[in-house]
Amino acid sequence: MTYDFVPHNENQLGLNYSAATVKAGRGLVVELLDSNSLVVAATISDNFGTYSFNIERNKLVKVRVKAQLARAQLPSWNFKVTDNTSNNSLYAMDGSLLAASETTAKRDLHAGSGWAGTGYVQPRVAAPFAILDSVLVGVERVVAAGNSNDFPDLELRWSVNNKAADGDLALGEVGTSFYSGSAIYILGDENNDTDEYDSHVILHEWGHYLEEQFSRSDSIGGDHVYGDKLDMRVAMSEGFANAFSAMMLDDPNYRDASGLQQTDGFSSNVSRKNHTVRGSYSEASVQSVLYNFYTSDSEKMARDFTDIFKVISSSGYVGNTAMTSIYVFANELRNLTPAQITNFNTLLLEQNIEITNALGDGESNSGGYTGSLPIYKLLPVNNTPINLCSSNRFGAYNKLAVAQFMILDVVSSGTYQFSVQEVGDDSGDSDPDIYLYRRGSLLDYAEGTLVDQESLSRFLSVGTYVLELVDDRARDPENTDDVTACFDVRSQRLN
């Protein structure tokens, strides 16, 4: 079984259909069907795309290749490409129904791209198989890095109708390629944005799946572009996913084709170190640190994903008190592989990221707003107020300074009350909301409608917690007003 693969142009922009190659369909589910379309045998294609069946002579059979990667032995996996605009039906390619004989025994199936000079004129049969081969590259690299756990099932939902419009997923209004937590949706809109041959894009989204299933991500998602000053949780997740795709492919040039006849798009070198925006809030900084650490041979094997996977899958990373960030990664790397930390520290400093602990204590890079430091404010539990401000000065929702974080240590179990009150200059009718976390898991929250205030009471056992404060006006992308609202936050034990 083979399929057409369309590479990008040498200048990294757009697809080059004239340079299309034929690739083997690896690891795919292959079925043999009788004249009633009943499955009489099934197997998995090998690394050369070959398969074989034993079947009685003269029996009418046809071969079906499913857009499905499957493996039963440990670690097992089951990845499918389905059509979200057709009830999530599985893509497949069927051969002809022929009587089994010596002359019909060899049955080669080829999935064509459907391209003919200036556009797609035939079904884009190759697309689902190209998507799966990118995924298989990631699977193989993660297994080689030491993963022995089963991969949870995942659907990758692609359609020629999937376009850059927000709305009904069943109509293809997916907005962009993204991981939803239960599936990956992939663009396929010809002459606008198609991602089936953008291996970096596929592996970026699959990297988010890896974070959720084998690691941890506290990212809140949202729009982001190069140069944004982001919430550190978002910067870590997006920077990791960019670097991950480049690591899996051993290619730092992240490419995304789009435009008329897919001749345009963008390219970004994730290994680049010189960025105008540098810090723990920059996805470009995070991807640069991680990718350049991956390629380094200082106290490690160059281009070996093992050390990075070891960190992100460790109990110290997954169960860390702090929200996920480059600080947590660096701290866990120091704990697990101290011989490598000198090199990693150098990469951090190049990106204006302080060498510190998982909480980022002592960080001096505020991103241009002093209110964003310290990264975690210590919240006492004796009703003493601390003051902090939620601001959309760098943008709404997932940008730096919208969310403020506090850390509190509970030394005795009991019911604790948290209260928030706006103080200082009147910013209008503020709407503070608070969120309580333990090791990244949301325990409770308060999103009341009272103006300028909020409160929350909850029983807490002994341990360390993170409290997040957000003014909903600063979070709202549709709010065009500049917002900087400052609040006194208190915590006390009630009983």
For the segment 329-346, what is each residue's pLDDT rounded down to a tens digit?
999 999 999 999 999 999
For residue 17, the 8-state DSSP code is G
d(CA 459, CA 79): 41
- pLDDT value at position 426? 83
Residue type, 265: G
Answer whether residue 116 is part of any domain.
yes
Strands 188-189 and 183-186: unpaired
- What token pair was written down for 336? 């697990």
Contact at 8 Å (CB) between 28 and 40? no
Average pLDDT over residues 201-227: 98
Q: Which of 21-35, 64-78, 228-242, 423-437 has the lowest mean pLDDT?
A: 423-437
- pLDDT value at position 424? 87
Residue 73 pLDDT greater than 90, yes or no = yes
Within 10 Å of residue 229's Cβ, how many Cβ atoms?
A: 20
Reduced to 3 states (helix: H, G, I; strand: E, B; else coil), residue 310 is helix
d(CA 304, CA 55): 44
- What token pair was written down for 117? 């000079």
Answer whether residue 97 is part of any domain.
yes
Answer whether residue 244 is part of any domain.
no
**Residue closest to 170 by CA, chosen among 153, 190, 185:** 185
Average pLDDT over residues 199-224: 98
Residue 484 pLDDT greater than 90, yes or no = yes
Answer whether residue 204 is part of any domain.
no
Quote the domain boundaries for residue 80: 2-128+147-157+164-177
Answer whether residue 245 is part of any domain.
no
Contact at 8 Å (CB) between 204 and 295? no
d(CA 350, CA 48): 43
Cβ neighbors of 400 (< 8 A, separation 6 or more) are 229, 230, 231, 232, 281, 367, 369, 372, 394
d(CA 113, CA 472): 47
Sign of CA dihedral 371, 376, 381, 382: negative
- Look up the CATH number of the domain holding residue 464: 2.60.120.380
- pLDDT value at position 69? 99
String of DSSP letters for 303-355: T--HHHHHHHTSHHHHT-SSPSSHHHHHHHHHHH-GGGHHHHHHHHHHTT---
Residue 425 pLDDT greater than 90, yes or no = no
d(CA 102, CA 105): 5
d(CA 116, CA 482): 51
Burial label for 69, CB within 10 Å (0-12, 13-18, 19+), is: buried
d(CA 406, CA 408): 7
Answer whether residue 98 is part of any domain.
yes
Contact at 8 Å (CB) between 234 and 246? no
Answer whether residue 169 is part of any domain.
yes
Residue 148 pLDDT greater than 90, yes or no = yes
Band (400; pLDDT cuts 50, 70, 90): very high
The CA–CA distances, whole Å, from 96 to 62, 103, 107, 109 equal: 5, 14, 9, 10
Mean pLDDT over each residue of the chain, to the nearest integer: 98
Residue 31 pLDDT greater than 90, yes or no = yes
d(CA 87, CA 372): 46
Answer whether residue 221 is part of any domain.
no
End-to-end CA distance of the chain: give it in Å, rounded.
68
- What token pair was written down for 15? 């697809």
d(CA 319, CA 216): 8
Band (129; pLDDT cuts 50, 70, 90): very high
Bridge partners (DSSP) listed for residue 111: 3
pTM: 0.97
For residue 29, the 8-state DSSP code is E
Contact at 8 Å (CB) between 156 and 131? yes
d(CA 321, CA 415): 20
Angle between helices 326-336 and 232-249 (to 10 degrees): 60
Domain count, the chain: 2
d(CA 49, CA 70): 14
- Cis check: omega of the bond before 374, within 30 degrees of 0: yes
Contact at 8 Å (CB) between 458 and 446? no
Contact at 8 Å (CB) between 397 and 222? yes
Bridge partners (DSSP) listed for residue 58: none
String of DSSP letters for 124-190: -THHHHHHHHHHHHHHHHHHHTT--SPPPPEEEEE-TT-BS-BS-GGGTBBSS-EE-SSEEEE-EET
Exposure of 275 in the CB half-sphere (CA atoms within 13 A): 28
Q: Name the strand (E) or helix (H) holding 207.
A: helix 199-214
Average pLDDT over residues 143-152: 98
- pLDDT value at position 384? 98
Cβ neighbors of 405 (< 8 A, separation 6 or more) are 323, 375, 376, 377, 466, 467, 468, 469
Burial label for 417, CB within 10 Å (0-12, 13-18, 19+), is: middle
Residue 366 pLDDT greater than 90, yes or no = yes
For residue 434, the 8-state DSSP code is E
